[in-house]
Every structure is written in C-alpha cells, then in structure tokens.
Amino acid sequence: EDQVTQSPEALRLQEGESSSLNCSYTVSGLRGLFWYRQDPGKGPEFLFTLYSAGEEKEKERLKATLTKKESFLHITAPKPEDSATYLCAVQAEGNNDMRFGAGTRLTVKP
C-alpha cells in the first residue's frame, strides 16, 4: 500500500535559520510527488511537482528535491511568513488520487 511519512511533525526555527523537511514514501510506480503549503483555515496551496529521482525545483526560499525513496523541502533563510503546514503527497501510476502525509507544521520566529 502507498505510504507517505513526513518528519518532523513540527519544526520551530528562528528567522534566517535554514533547515529541511523530509518526506519518505513507498509507492508502486511514482507518477508524481507534490508539495503543498497549508495555512490555518485554508486549502492547500500548490508549491511543486517532482516526477523523477534527481529532479529539483526552486521557488523563492524553497527548494524541493527527489530521490527514489524520499523528498526534501529545503528552506533557506526562512521568514515568519513561511510559517505554515507543509504537505507532501504522492500519486502512483494508474491512480488519479493523491496520498498525503500528515504534514510538517513549521513556525518561524522573528
């Protein structure tokens, strides 16, 4: 069965303190791995899609990388506005639904 595990559950950083969020996955044939950001009381906001091992995507202070077993979301010099829950999801070949991890709740203190 497809599984997605995110770690840590929660992460507190000082403004400017870079770190990484982990997403480990087990899927029978990866169609895509997705990162979303979710603010309290809102729907998930799309960040990145990664399709194959070795692929990297960047957007502002965020960089997502992918291996055959895990993905990392690197946050460089975070700001308080980066505080949110970051969700990882995988979509298997032949499937239309995504399986989500439980998320990492990031808090960036000024």
Partner 1 sequence: NAGVMQNPRHLVRRRGQEARLRCSPMKGHSHVYWYRQLPEEGLKFMVYLQKENIIDESGMPKERFSAEFPKEGPSILRIQQVVRGDSAAYFCASSPQGYYGYTFGSGTRLTVV
- Per CB under 8 A, residues contacting partner 1 are 4, 31-32, 34, 36, 41-46, 49, 87, 89, 91, 95-103
Whole-angstrom Cα distance, residue 41 to residue 7? 22
Least distance from C-beta 65 to partner 1, angstroms?
18
Closest CB to partner 1 among 41 and 110?
Answer: 41
10-14 and 104-109 strand pairing: parallel
Least distance from C-beta 16 to partner 1, angstroms?
29
Residue 99 identity (one-letter amino acid): R
